[in-house]
A and B are shown apart, each in its own frame.
Chain A
């Protein structure tokens, strides 16, 4: 069972980074480049309102990992597992779970597994997430354009943000 005390879980973030995504093609490129950096146990915590493009991002991310076949929404089944890519992909949507249910489901077994976890609506289960992770929030800035607000927690993810050429956010760019 999960330790509910938050000690150590909320390691200090290295600050926030932003990336302007002017088109769907930009979103796809960003997701694919991020996938290239992923290693076993990587956790991408994805947030954004309905219609912000989370599933579109996930499809491109899966393609970046080389996952074959159709990747579609995991909202109903909560977790969809994909083999056959460079790494296994655990694509989750925790929208319909309470923290207790998510904990009982044993999400940590996925996070600690050999694959990459991409969790939609991750903020809803924040206390259950791995201590180190990359938060990405997609915000609508127009019909096609989005702003990706990234918050790396842990040195590895901070290095990724720099490698991806993200711009450090000054003051603004609240993740939530």
Chain B
């Protein structure tokens, strides 16, 4: 086999005659969700089954996460069968199997990777190990045409990254969080405001309802940095609550939520727009589970409108973790005949840049 475990081998398969209408079965088990999907031509979602099967905002209201491998094991075969049935395709019609190889929880990832290998071997079709964040970004291709160079703002529970795509399938990380992801920052502030975990969406809602705002600091970091930091903002919220309580007063949670949201939205969207201008992006892609956040979505749409920069954002069902987005990203490699070997290893930390297509 080509080198170490998980080493990608390039097999130039004869796929050209099928590449437009090809059917990819995609599997995603990187964290909380077990998901399988059938995607045609990297663009058309024939099915997209997610274990929790409920809207994102309800999910974040406290459904038990399927972090344990055992839970994924229990669900995976049922979910895959359901994806095939709903798509109305037989196993034999599948052209390739795509699976999230990382990043994520290793025990959870393993279940999807093992299932995908077994299927690829049994059906004698190629296996395509896929990067989870590439999936989030290429969820946008399920809703529109991506124009390059494009800039992606990935905001999810566990990730906050600015990714430049100079051309199709090529990823360059230009900024990332140094401490909390945006989703984590929302959930932690929600804890401080006495919402049960995970309470991020409550903070978003409270911020929109509040009429007053307590102005909180913005963490811009170094002048030329596209990195993010939200721990100082979290501390500022806690300090404000303590200060108010010491005076014997009740802190205004609404005004604090609004102040927090303003700071996050201001920093995230300003950096995204600055990066888009600097790198000459012709399109802005918003993605990840926190793309549901109204504050970020609305401000970014407004800024893109002013700048004349087209913006894409997938519907919520394709923003939270799901397998269709993995199928969309895997299509990049399918069309180029760049497949994984059957010794593909799940990996908790895997580089997005290294996952770029081979030009």
Contacts and interface: CB of A to CB of B under 8 A. Distances in A.
A24 B10 CA distance: 48
A55 B184 CA distance: 12
A79 B107 CA distance: 10
Contacts of A55: 179-180, 231
A82 B349 contact: yes
Interface in A62-118: 70, 72-73, 75-83, 95-97, 101, 104-106
Contact of A96 (B104, B192, B197): B197
Nearest to B107: A106
B158 A77 contact: yes
Interface in A12-42: none
Contacts of B71: 104
Given A50-B238, A79-B348, A95-B197, A105 B184 contact: no
A96 B198 contact: yes
A97 to B, nearest CB: 7
A70 B178 CA distance: 7
Contacts of B183: 76
Contacts of B349: 80-83
Given A72-B177, A75-B184, A75-B187, A101 B231 contact: no
Interface in B180-200: 180-181, 183-184, 187-188, 191-192, 197-198
Nearest to B156: A76
Contacts of B70: 104
A75 B105 contact: no
Interface stretch (B61-69, B246-254, B256-264, B309-317): B61-69
A106 B67 CA distance: 10
B239 interface: yes
Contacts of B231: 51, 55-56
Nearest to B69: A106
A72 B348 contact: no
Given A76-B181, A78-B67, A105 B107 contact: yes
B180 A51 contact: no
Contact of B234 (A50, A76, A77, A83): A50
Nearest to A74: B158
Nearest to A54: B231
Contacts of A7: none
A79 B234 CA distance: 21
Given A51-B234, A73-B181, A104-B68, A79 B239 contact: no
A121 B55 CA distance: 29
Given A55-B180, A106-B69, A79 B105 contact: yes
A96 B67 CA distance: 11
A59 B65 CA distance: 27
A171 interface: no
B177 A50 contact: no
Nearest to A56: B231
B358 interface: no
A141 B238 CA distance: 14
24 contacts: A50-B191, A50-B234, A51-B235, A55-B179, A56-B179, A56-B231, A59-B179, A72-B180, A72-B181, A73-B177, A75-B187, A76-B181, A76-B184, A77-B104, A79-B105, A79-B348, A82-B349, A96-B197, A101-B64, A101-B67, A101-B68, A104-B67, A104-B70, A106-B69
Interface of A: 50-51, 55-56, 59, 70, 72-73, 75-83, 95-97, 101, 104-106, 143
Interface of B: 31, 64-65, 67-71, 103-107, 156-158, 176-181, 183-184, 187-188, 191-192, 197-198, 231, 234-235, 238-239, 348-349
Given A75-B158, A104-B69, 8 more contacts: A73-B184, A75-B180, A76-B181, A76-B183, A79-B348, A104-B68, A104-B71, A106-B107
